[in-house]
Structure 1
Amino acid sequence: MSVRHVLLDADGVVQHGVRDPFGLLRRWAGDRAEDLGRALWAAERGPLRGEGDFLEAVHRVVPSYADVDPRELYASLWGDITLSEATLALIDRLRAAGLGVHLGTNQHRQRGEHMRTTLGFDRLFDVSCYSWELGTKKPETDYFEIALERIGAPGHEVLFVDDMEANVEAARAAGLRAEHWHLDRGHDLLRELLAGHGVEVD
């Protein structure tokens, strides 16, 4: 059966986030940077499923570790997004070839809404599967089952591309085709991976 849909992760596939988050945290928290980072990422787990407000959590967590405006820290760590022009061009070619192109990403509400509106993701993708809206996140099986329902296709018709191997393995276990790829590996390799599933793009 042929692939009719491509489901793309955001960070590491469509966009770059902050390249050195701990370098930024060290500016504010010094030798407590790693502790602050762990506390922030732990606080994000619930909001990634739509449980609680992450920005409120940032305001609670940061003062215990650093003397910095939590809004500045949030904007620097989660608001710094650079879209990959090469991936955007590839998306255009996939859609021109008649494939559905969809977004499969773990995001809390504020960052996801920024991507959706300011960055124009609602225009870029046919179906968007943000974890905070689905109430589950990658690599949980429920995430992929809901994504397939939203796309309206069986797993063997959907090719998922993600920069985390655990997510790729979970997608395969849920019945999707899946490939592990990161922007740093180059788009020539991505085109080869797509071609391996019968998806040819110029």
Structure 2
Amino acid sequence: MRRKAIMVDVDGVLVTHPDAGGWSVNLENDLGIPLASLQDGFFRRHWADVVHGRAALRDRLAIALAEFAPSVSPAALIEYWFSNDAHIDESLLAELQLLRKAGFELHLATVQEHERAAYLWDRLALRDSFDGMHYAASLGCSKPDHAFYRAVEAAARIKPEAIFFIDDKIANVEAARECGWAAALWTGDSTVRELMRAVQWDDR
């Protein structure tokens, strides 16, 4: 049987938050960090370097927190962040496991930095459910850059026409299609099988 792989995005697909505000909705109440300060002082200034593997998360958080939340350690914020951003869609995961038993490889294709990638893979034990994880910091590029998709293909050693991909951002889906992947927008309203059939990928 020819190898076929289902590539799955993490945030907004496999991992979703019950609150529309996401993991940081109670950040100021719980840790005393205004979300606007975190966005301006960390994500806008440092995230691109961190998520592309050019800088360590803890190092850049230490710089940022010293400016607007010196009483909060990088370790405390990371634990709060990761534990509050760990709501796995168990229904989707269960369907994916059935597809895996049917012979499809399962891979994660996601924009993550090193520490959260390890948290997802090891602490949340996604390693038990997926055959591989391909993420921005390890590849040096991120979606929707075509370089990301090519790097994933190379790492997984799977040809583009043998890949089906789900993501919650249309730009990422369109870029995947431009690279020769079958891809569908994930909204949670359809099963993976239904999306596969909609693009006629399962019949290839």
| TM-score bucket of the superposed structures, by smaller chain | 0.7 to 0.9
User: Contact between 1:16 and 1:84, CA under 8 Å: does it hold in 2?
Assistant: yes
Q: Residue 57 of structure 2 aligns with which residue?
A: 54
User: Contact between 1:22 and 1:37, CA under 8 Å: does it hold in 2?
Assistant: no
Distance 1:52 1:18 in 2: 31
Question: In the superposition, relative to structure 1, how do residues 158 and 170 fare at CA in structure 2: closer, same or farther (>3 Å)?
Answer: same
Runs of 4+ aligned residues of structure 1 deviating over 3 Å after TM superposition are: 188-191, 197-200
Whether 1:7 and 2:12 are equivalent positions in the alignment is: no
Question: In the superposition, relative to structure 1, how do residues 150 and 9 fare at CA in structure 2: closer, same or farther (>3 Å)?
Answer: same
Gapped runs of 5+ residues in structure 2? none
Q: Kindly tell me the number of residue pairs found equivalent between the two proteins.
A: 194
1:1-53 Cα shifts (integer Å, max 9, x gaps): x99221001111111258424533443244xx324223322322112111110
2:122 to 117, 121, 129: 117
Give the C-alpha shift of residue 198 in structure 1: 4.2
Q: Name the % identity.
A: 23
Instruction: Output the amino acid matched with 1:14.
Output: L
- SS of match in other structure, 1:101: strand
User: Contact between 1:101 and 1:127, CA under 8 Å: does it hold in 2?
Assistant: yes
Gapped runs of 5+ residues in structure 1? none
1:77 to 81, 84, 94: 81
Question: In the superposition, relative to structure 1, how do residues 29 and 126 fare at CA in structure 2: closer, same or farther (>3 Å)?
Answer: closer
Q: Residue 173 of structure 1 aligns with which residue?
A: 178
Give the C-alpha shift of residue 199 in structure 1: 6.2
1:102-181 alignment, distance < 5 Å? 102-181=107-186
Instruction: Output the amino acid matched with 2:6.
Output: V
Give the C-alpha shift of residue 75 in structure 1: 2.0
Q: Residue 48 of structure 2 aligns with which residue?
A: 45
User: Contact between 2:164 and 2:201, CA under 8 Å: does it hold in 1?
Assistant: no
Distance 2:140 2:56 in 1: 13
1:59-96 Cα shifts (integer Å, max 9, x gaps): 21123223541333222223321111111111111111
1:111-143 Cα shifts (integer Å, max 9, x gaps): 111111111122221121121111211111111
User: Contact between 2:3 and 2:105, CA under 8 Å: does it hold in 1?
Assistant: no
Distance 1:177 1:149 in 2: 17
- SS of match in other structure, 2:53: coil
Whether 1:192 and 2:194 are equivalent positions in the alignment is: yes
